[in-house]
Amino acid sequence: MFNLLGMKKSYDDCRLLRDSLEDAAEGAPLSAAQREHLVVCADCQEAADAISVSRSVLHEASRAAAPGPWFAPRVMAAIAAREAELRQSLDAWAAVPRLAARLTWVSALALLLASTWLYQSPKRAQNPANQSQGTIESLFDAQPSGAADDILPTMENGHD
């Protein structure tokens, strides 16, 4: 039949062996029980092989990727160059608000001067050519006369 307790013990052994393989330094000795389990369990053998291969690959890569003696100065110079470039672009944009403020004040002053000049300038005199055509009366410029109201009462009385 199916032995749950035996399977549980095997699973615990596998987990403990894999943990000790991952935590152990290269070539660290295993206990006798762990070596026995490693010989018997195929899954644990595959895991041990994968761990040893990955360690060897990482060890080779760390030796090959070791930075040269000028690595840090080159990186720091590249960072400084990038910061200087960003600072220059920020300085260029920092001048825009100052320019906008000055432009606002100059525009306001120009509008004030222009409106003052237009307000105080004399009205244009009519050209002699326009005076011969006659004057144009406006409804709003004419003073209302009281004579129009006086006509109606005289008509009621029968007087012409």
User: What pLDDT does residue 80 have?
Assistant: 96
What confidence tier does 6 reach under pLDDT thresholds 50, 70, 90? very low
CB atoms within 10 A of CB 109: 10
Radius of gyration of the chain (CA): 51
User: What pLDDT does residue 146 have?
Assistant: 56
User: What pLDDT does residue 160 have?
Assistant: 53
Which residue type is seen at 149? D
Q: Three-state DSSP class for 20?
A: helix
